A and B are shown apart, each in its own frame.
Chain A
Amino acid sequence: MGKESQKKLTPFIVKEFFKLNPISILGAGPTGLSTGYYLRKNYSILEKNNEVGGGCRTEKINGFSFDHGGHIFYPKKKEIQALINKFVKDNLKCMPREAWVYSKDIYTRYPFQANLYGHSIQVVKECLLGLMKAKLKFGEKPNNFTDFEDFIYKVFGDGIAKHFMIPFNLKQWAVPLNKMTLEWMGKFIPLPTLEEVLDGSLKMSPRCMGINANFIYPQKGGIQSIFDSFIPFLQNLHIKSEVTYVSLKNKSFEINGQKKCFYEKLVSTIPLPELVRIIKSIPSEIRLASEKLRWTSLFVVNIGIDRPAISNKHRVYYPEEKYIFHKLGYYQNQSPYMVPNGKSAVSAEISFSKNRLINEDTLIERTIKDLIKARVLYPDDKIVLTHIITIPYAYAIYDHQRKKAVSFIKQFLEKNDIYLCGRYAQWEYQNMEQNILAGKAMAEKLNAEIE
């Protein structure tokens, strides 16, 4: 973090309090920062943590840096690329993704279905046969899916479903897949043609598929460095300022349970259930709607190892239930500054929810055991650091109730001049670029309204 950034980052100061800004933004993650950046009116940003970044923070411990979950940046829109370049150009590196799948004791490239070469004949055959049968039965472009599970079987067939899609997604989402809709998917899941699957079955393919085949990543400071670089361009950014109480009647809120502020417009980027929770005497039907929201939580178990270069990959997906984690990240391969010299780190992601309970007390032990089982660690590796990041809200679950519940809450809040913006407030599957765009759109809307 530059000196200038530090100067701007101050906890909330009482005397500024009564100089009420018309717009208050809750949360200084990518969305909140972007909203502020694009606003042409006075505003305040209130962040409960002692730094910005939200879901894109980076923890620095003993020379290791760990992001809050694996983050890579692959902006497709020119304006976002330009914005990021303006902020952090020299610190960014573009690289081809090294994403792999580990299953049945071998590594194949991600996505699974486009890189079957290397699996046993039986597995490849089942996958191809299943895909072809699905295509013969449901056509090249099936539609009318009842749920995510139905989608998997119709689009990929039962071989790919059995060997990857079903077990992996059950681990990642931690909810029954037939409870999920497809609204979240958009362009996130690559849908290879039979030709591409055949290519990947008959030979080793060096090609990455999907939306993020190449990505950019900061060289110093982890993913948070991108969002730290917003700070000099913002005003009234307050850390350690958690909004704990909102009164719709008075259009006021409390910070850290004490200070009362008034707002004209409130932009919330905090998780929707959290916002509903802090609103005073919210109508019971809104509370009920909020209770219908489902989400996946995530543990990121970070392990520091006294051995250099334990992997040459960026991330590896684990569909098999015998490993507690569904994903491992080796972020030192995205930037060498993520680990001290001569050391390596591995970040294991473990989803949890009501449907998939994880015992946090034994989590580190279990992760290390499974890392040895997966031959990532040697039994005699010296572990120099263990650390858990808990992400209570990792993914919103698009179940059959989500859409109705979210729009119901949103309508109600907007009538009270509270606007929902970003991944957690809109309860959507947005990536960093989409967060920045959501903030921008919100700012433009408010700019227009106020003028």
Chain B
Amino acid sequence: MTKVIILGAGLSGLSAAYHLKENYEIFDKDEKVGGLCRSIKIGDFIFDYGPHILFPKDEYIAKLIRRLLNRNFHHQRREAWIYHKLYDIYTRFPFQSHLYGLPVSVVKECILGFFNALKNPDKKPEDYEEWIIWNFGEGIAEYLMIPYAKKIWTMHPGNMSFEWVWNRVPRLSLEELLEGALHDNPKLFGFNTEFWYPLHGGIEALPLAFLSEVKNVNLKMEVSKVYLSKKCVEFNNNKKVLFEKLISTLPLPEIIKYIDDVPNEVKKASQELENNSVYCVNLGIERERISPYHYVYFYEPDFLFHRISYPMNFSKHTVPKGCSSISTETSYSKYKKISKENIIERVVEDLIKAKILFPDDKIVVSDATDLRYAYVIYDRNHRKNVNKIHDFLRKNSIFPCGRFGEWEYFNMDHSIASGKRIAEEINTIYSKGIL
């Protein structure tokens, strides 16, 4: 009998398989591996399921990715910018480190706010909004941080915790703030100042490289039921598979739905989990080099999307010669619903408003991809609910894994690390004979 069943052939599932010493079977509902790390090929254009860049920090993971991609990747310096429609200017990302270029009154407010925040270092924050103000002051908070947080998280930062922040929202010293306020400081701040990206095939090249090193991958197999007492997974083609250990990389609310016998309090915790969804509109344009940037952030409510990226600048092999590509991201959730009607046209309209597209640009391909589970949201009950669900699953030999199984803000390297961690945990259990 197969000892370990892995649900989901995204990066964490593939990594778990790769690192497991026991026999396993992987199942994925899609016809391709990769999960959220897939790419969409339309003609000669390649778009990812939301923009993906690699910036592994862990040396082992970095080595693994290098080996898997072989020579199929390159390094780049991140070009991330923020567009201010109000002043029709771009400033560098992150906002707080690059105030230069904004009107003097804005820069002044931001510096004064930062300074005033420094006066009360002991006033510890209780939620993400307070964290923003405590860290950056009123000026930066109100000008950009809070509007942007509302847009991407679809909820007020006052209802969010800030445990996820660690180095994702780059903090800075008074000196760095001033440096960035007084001139166009080219120094990059943040955790992904340099990144890797596959030269060919889009980000999907990474899961595909994993695929060649794992076995027993079963595609187009969607879970329909998990029987806890029988330790059995049933798929929608009625196939049933028994397991000793189940690694689930499915989003927590999904796996909970499939399980036959879930205590009410776990069900409730699962229903309380918060996440956003992202609607990606991908466009291929018949005009060369429409932008030198990788990412541009849009914090103003004038725009549907909160961020756009230019896949063509991640790798030139993602677009045909003479063309450019744009991928836009629009967050939504039960708190902020968006109408998907004419969404491509509306996005194009906003891109014209931002002077990125010309009204007469020829759009040669367009696509709208809905990422139902995009980001985990750290609401105030996040930790409590996740722990409750994880306790229940683990008691039943189900090991939650990956960005949506662990229900954390993981990047690709974290997801690979998560798969490795769970695989090693299971390896240890078997090697010690503790079942």
Contact = CB atoms under 8 A, between A and B. Distances in A.
B175 A125 contact: yes
Contacts of B181: 202
Given A136-B118, A136-B119, A203-B104, A125 B112 contact: no
Given A124-B182, A125-B178, A129-B178, A198 B108 contact: yes
Given A136-B119, A202-B107, A202-B181, A194 B112 contact: yes
Interface in B87-124: 104, 107-108, 111-112, 115, 118-119
B179 interface: yes
Nearest to A124: B182
Nearest to A202: B104
Interface residues of A, number: 16
A125 B185 CA distance: 13
Contacts of B183: 121
Contacts of B178: 124-125, 128-129
Contacts of A125: 175, 178-179, 182
A100 to B, nearest CB: 21
Contacts of A202: 104, 107-108, 181-182
A65 interface: no
- The CB with the most chain A CB atoms within 10 A, among B111, B119, B182, is that of B182
A121 B108 contact: no
Contacts of B115: 132, 135-136, 194
Interface in A376-422: none
Contacts of A203: 104
B107 A195 contact: no
B174 interface: yes
A269 interface: no
A27 B182 CA distance: 53
Interface string B46-88: 0000000000000000000000000000000000000000000
Nearest to A127: B178
A197 to B, nearest CB: 10
Contacts of B104: 199, 202-203
A201 interface: yes
A201 B181 CA distance: 10
B174 A129 contact: yes
Given A132-B174, A136-B119, A121 B182 contact: yes
B179 A121 contact: yes
Given A121-B179, A121-B182, A198 B174 contact: no
Interface in A171-201: 194-195, 198-199, 201
Contacts of A195: 108, 112
B112 A201 contact: no
B290 to A, nearest CB: 32
A201 to B, nearest CB: 7
Contacts of B108: 195, 198-199, 202
B175 A129 contact: yes
B154 to A, nearest CB: 35
Contacts of A121: 179, 182-183
B118 A198 contact: no
B180 to A, nearest CB: 10
Interface string A112-143: 00000000010011001100110110000000
Contacts of A199: 104, 108
- The CB with the most chain A CB atoms within 10 A, among B118, B175, B178, is that of B178
B177 to A, nearest CB: 10
A121 B179 CA distance: 7
Nearest to B102: A202
A142 to B, nearest CB: 14
A125 B182 CA distance: 8
A195 B104 CA distance: 11
B31 to A, nearest CB: 55
A136 B120 CA distance: 10
A202 B100 CA distance: 9
B174 A201 contact: no
Contacts of A201: 182
Contacts of B107: 198, 202
Contacts of A124: 178, 182
B114 to A, nearest CB: 9
Interface string B254-268: 000000000000000
Contacts of B174: 129, 132-133
B352 to A, nearest CB: 33
Interface in B113-158: 115, 118-119
A128 B177 CA distance: 11
A145 B75 CA distance: 56
B111 A198 contact: yes
Interface in B153-197: 174-175, 178-179, 181-183
- The CB with the most chain B CB atoms within 10 A, among A124, A132, A194, is that of A132
Contacts of B182: 121, 124-125, 201-202
Contacts of B118: 132, 136
Contacts of A133: 174
Nearest to B119: A136
B167 to A, nearest CB: 24
A133 B115 CA distance: 9
Contacts of A132: 115, 118, 174
Contacts of B119: 136
Nearest to A136: B118
Nearest to B99: A202
A133 B175 CA distance: 10
Given A129-B174, A198-B108, 12 more contacts: A121-B179, A121-B183, A125-B175, A125-B178, A128-B111, A129-B175, A129-B178, A132-B115, A136-B118, A194-B115, A199-B104, A202-B108
Q: Which 6 pairs across A and B sit closest by C-beta, in order of nearness?
A: A202-B104, A121-B182, A203-B104, A121-B183, A125-B178, A198-B108
7 contacts: A124-B182, A125-B178, A128-B111, A129-B174, A129-B175, A136-B115, A198-B112
Interface of A: 121, 124-125, 128-129, 132-133, 135-136, 194-195, 198-199, 201-203
